[in-house]
Amino acid sequence: MKKTLSLAVALAALGAGCSNLERSRDLANPNVPPAVTAAQVCSICHGLDGNSVSPNFPRLAGQQAPYIVTQLENFRSHHRSDPPGFEYMWGISGKLSDDQIKGLADYFAKQVPSSNASVDAAQIAVGKEIFEKGIPAKETAPCFVCHGPTGQGMATFPRLANQHQDYLVKQLHVFQETEGRPGTPMKQITHLLTHEEMEAVAGFLQALPNDNK
């Protein structure tokens, strides 16, 4: 009888530990606070405060909340099918509810973006020209029209300031060469961009001064 009772107590304690909402990684539990999911799951790639270190993963700190919501919904529905999205985000987003998605978007939108590394000055100058004036000869619109004068983003158009150069270049190639990121005007905008032009504007955005949250 005593052994049975002890086993029941141990199992109950184990269950309580697994259900600790402040440490849970259970994406299917809508009761887990967004900050906990961000810390226990999202931080592995994006950093605890959304300022990811690796250029393989985008920075989410200060990102526009509506943009994050749209991307998580697209991952969840498999509408966004670029390779990194497929590999990392389909499984993670699959069990998230609408409220969990909104909570995560609000959490990262409130984080403070940190400055990123600078790049070659000549490259920055070329990128600044593209960002502010576009490339008229190619009918490429200026980036600031949708992403804001300081790259801070606007609603469903993402913040680009301080984003990793390598990540942005990869995404520009996805827009240009695939259908993995549907539902945006970027296919047309990137149509005639060269790799060097992509690197330049992405370098300018990575190196932007961090005074524009």
58 φ, ψ (degrees, to nearest 5): -70, 150
**205 burial level (CB within 10 Å; 0-12, 13-18, 19+):** buried
Q: Which of 79, 109, 139 is the last residue of a domain?
A: 109
Angle between helices 165-177 and 195-206 (to 10 degrees): 140
- Percentage of the chain with pLDDT > 70? 89
- What amino acid is encoded at 129 in this protein? E
Q: What is the dihedral of CA 54, 57, 107, 150, to 10 degrees?
A: 90
Number of domains in the chain: 2
Q: With 80 as the cut, is the pLDDT of residue 34 above it?
A: yes
Q: How far apart are CA 14 and CA 84, in angstroms?
A: 35
- Identify any residues that bridge with 211 across adjacent strands, giving them in sequence order: none
Q: pLDDT, tens digit, for every residue of 67-87?
A: 999 999 999 999 999 988 889
Residues 42 and 97 in one domain: yes
Q: With 50 as the cut, is the pLDDT of residue 92 above it?
A: yes
Residues 97 and 144 in one domain: no
The answer to whether residue 21 sits within a structural domain is: no
The answer to whether residue 53 sits within a structural domain is: yes
Q: Which of 77, 109, 141 is the last residue of a domain?
A: 109
Residues 155 and 91 in one domain: no
Residue that the structure tokens 């810390």 belong to: 39
Residues 200 and 137 in one domain: yes
Residues 125 and 201 in one domain: yes
Structural domain range at position 140: 121-206
Angle between helices 98-109 and 65-76 (to 10 degrees): 140
The total of other beta-carbon atoms located within 10 Å of residue 200's CB is 26
Question: Residue 102 maps to which CATH number?
Answer: 1.10.760.10
pLDDT score of 155: 95
Q: Which of 109, 130, 165 is the last residue of a domain?
A: 109
Residues 77 and 150 in one domain: no
The whole-number average pLDDT for the span 40-47 is 97
The answer to whether residue 115 sits within a structural domain is: no
CA distances from 23 to 13, 31, 93 (A): 15, 12, 19
Q: How far apart are CA 75 and CA 93, in angstroms?
A: 6
Q: With 70 as the cut, is the pLDDT of residue 4 above it?
A: no
The answer to whether residue 18 sits within a structural domain is: no
Give the predicted TM-score (pTM) of the model. 0.88
The answer to whether residue 158 sits within a structural domain is: yes
Token couple for 110: 């409130």
Q: pLDDT, tens digit, for every residue of 135-159?
A: 999 999 999 999 999 999 999 999 9
pLDDT score of 190: 95
Residues 130 and 191 in one domain: yes
Residues 95 and 137 in one domain: no
pLDDT score of 85: 84
